[in-house]
Amino acid sequence: MDRPDFYVLARILERLWREGRPMLKTRLQLATNVNYDLLMKYLAWLRSRGFIALEENDGHEVVALTPEGEQAYLKLVRLMNEVIRPQD
Amino acid sequence: MERRVWGMAIATMALGILPIAVAIVLLLLGMDFFLSFPFLVYVLPMVGGMLSVVFAFTLKIRVDLVPDERLRTTASIARAFRLAGLTVVEDSQSVTVAFDKWTAIKLAFEEDGGARLKFRLDATRSTLFAILLLFFLSWGIIAIPFCVFLLIRTNGNAMAYVPWVLKGEFDISPRSGEAQSTKDIRENLIDSLSEVRRVARDAYWSMHSAMEDAVILSVIVVGMIGGLVLFALLLQTSIFDPYYRVAASLLAGLGVALTSSIILAFWLSRRMKPKIEELDSWVTRLDLALLRERKEVDQDGSESSIELLFNAFNEMPRFLKARRKSMLSRYPATQILVLVLVLWGSEFIAGGLSALLSSPLDLLPLAVGLVMVSAAILLYRWSLKKEHAEEIQIAQEWEKRREYIRSAVEDQLGGI
């Protein structure tokens, strides 16, 4: 993937963080509203950077947010807060 | 709290009427001076209005004890109101909270305990503008019901927010078993969403009041001036039977004024409504996101908060521009002056035109009127130019922020 859409990345990270536990790929696809093939590409990209991990659960592959992924999401949220905050 | 406000509203009304009652008593005692025209028409209503304004804006209302100990400081109260999405200005002693265009309160802790709050009405720019205009136009008596309206409306807004804020309803309390990083994320999301929601809500109200202002101004400028000029012209012509001339001119002037005002008001509101509705939908989306973050009400497919924030971030220059657009309250002194010049100028023009028809050399009133209206136009154009320069500055600042966030995101996520 050349240049992933930042919005989609943020959406996936947020969904995994909100869930608080590993998610089935199909559920993640439904929750993030991303085309399945595209989701696979994004998951590969996130995995290559250590933000997510793929695990086995009852014979199904599930997606888990790693501590690095959670930190990356926290940094994004903090960054957003920093630029938005003082408006008066 | 509520009973006290109703008592204040009644007292405000009674105080306003008091000078008139005193005048009646003095009149009954045979002091005929109080029947004099300027006293009855100007002085008494002004005094009554002023008493009501002073009373309504200085009396303090006590609030119940602040139950949450963490909220017993000015800074924490300010933060709690901000998290509730309200516009807040704080200093070391007090917190001013604006609920809408007309209502605001100034809160402070009582000196003795530090756990009990009191508040009084505070004037928003629109309120101040309206009160000044009422006194300037010698309609001081209207300030009495206006103050009662402000008291009741402020109380309604205060009742809708203060108890919940003081119970810590909008605060981000730690949840059991929640990791620090999860709490940090939640806090940052709620802070950012509250801020964007506050700006979007201000933008919505500004746009709304800009529409109202535009309608009022167009009704005054087009309707009143057009009607007055037409009335003055028709009065001097021989179109109508001399016997009915005044009535016919008045009817024609009034008819044109009303019709043109209604058409213009309809056209203006139709033109501005889509923008207002769009801002309203932003506020709703941000409200839903805030609710989700606070209460963890969540379901698959619901809008992502971070994505919503990024989208809203891109809209911020537009929100800020709309927030500054509330014309009559943006530069109150300039706008009051423009309004006064237009009102007086149009009276001079109408009088001048009618004088000109009877005596062609009597140009002075018309010239004065034209100078006043021209000055109003120049002043208005100057304020528009100033506003435009500020808008450019805001856009440039936000473009810088956008650049910053773009490069920071690339750093954080490793070369997007």
CATH of residue A80:
1.10.10.10
- Quick one: closest CA in A to B195, which residue? A85
Interface check B185 vs A, CB under 8 A: yes
Contact residues on chain A for B304, CB-CB shorter than 8 A: 10-11, 14-15, 32
Beta bridge partners of A55: A62
Domain ranges of chain B: 2-171, 180-300, 331-416
Interface check B381 vs A, CB under 8 A: no
Is A22 a member of any domain? yes
Q: How far apart are CA B99 and CA B85, in angstroms?
A: 9
Cβ atoms of residues A79 and B409 within 8 Å: yes
The domain total for chain A is 1
Taking Cα atoms as reference points, which of B335, B390, B347, B353 lies closest to residue B372?
A: B347
Taking Cα atoms as reference points, which of A22, A9, A11, A36 lies closest to residue A66?
A: A22
> Which amino acid, B241?
D
Expressed as residue numbers, the domain containing A68 is: 16-84
In this prediction, residue B327 carries a pLDDT of 44
Q: Which residues contact B271 (CB under 8 A, 6 or more apart)?
A: none
Any idea how long chain B is?
A: 416
Q: How far apart are CA B289 and CA B157, in angstroms?
A: 23
pTM strictly above 0.80? no
Q: Give me the interface pTM, i.e. the ipTM.
A: 0.86
The pair of three-digit structure tokens given for residue A19, joined into one six-digit string: 């869930």
Find the radius of gyration of the CA atoms of chain B.
27
Say which residue the tokens 């309160």 belong to. Answer: B105
From first to last of its 416 residues, chain B has per-residue pLDDT tens of 556 667 777 887 787 788 777 777 777 777 666 566 666 667 777 888 898 899 989 888 887 666 666 667 788 888 888 877 788 888 888 889 988 878 899 988 876 556 778 888 998 877 887 888 788 777 788 888 899 899 888 888 888 888 777 776 666 555 556 677 778 888 888 888 888 888 888 888 888 877 877 777 777 777 777 777 777 777 777 776 777 777 777 788 788 888 888 888 888 888 888 989 999 999 999 988 888 887 766 665 677 888 898 888 888 888 887 876 654 455 667 777 887 888 888 888 888 888 877 777 778 888 999 999 999 999 989 988 887 888 788 888 888 888 888 788 777 766 54
Contact residues on chain B for A6, CB-CB shorter than 8 A: 310, 409, 413, 416
Is A57 a member of any domain? yes
Interface check B180 vs A, CB under 8 A: no
SS3 A3: coil
Q: Per the CB < 8 Å rule, is B310 touching A6?
A: yes
- Name which of A9, A79, A88 is nearest B408 (Cβ-Cβ): A79
SS3 B95: strand
Q: Per the CB < 8 Å rule, is B416 touching A76?
A: no
- Name which of A31, A77, A88 is nearest B306 (Cβ-Cβ): A77
Is A2 a member of any domain? no
Is the model's pLDDT at A33 over the cut of 80?
yes
Q: Per the CB < 8 Å rule, is B412 touching A79?
A: yes
Overall average pLDDT of the A42-71 stretch: 90
Interface check A42 vs B, CB under 8 A: no
> Which amino acid, A21?
R
Contact residues on chain A for B310, CB-CB shorter than 8 A: 6-7, 10, 80
In this prediction, residue A52 carries a pLDDT of 93
B294 to chain A, minimum CA–CA distance in Å? 13
- Name which of B195, B305, B412 is nearest A87 (Cβ-Cβ): B195
In this prediction, residue A5 carries a pLDDT of 82
Q: Per the CB < 8 Å rule, is A76 touching B409?
A: yes
Q: Which residues contact B235 (CB under 8 A, 6 or more apart)?
A: B245, B246, B249, B354
Is A60 a member of any domain? yes
> Which amino acid, B265?
A
In the structure, what pLDDT confidence band is assigned to residue A46 with cuts at 50, 70 and 90?
very high
In this prediction, residue B373 carries a pLDDT of 92
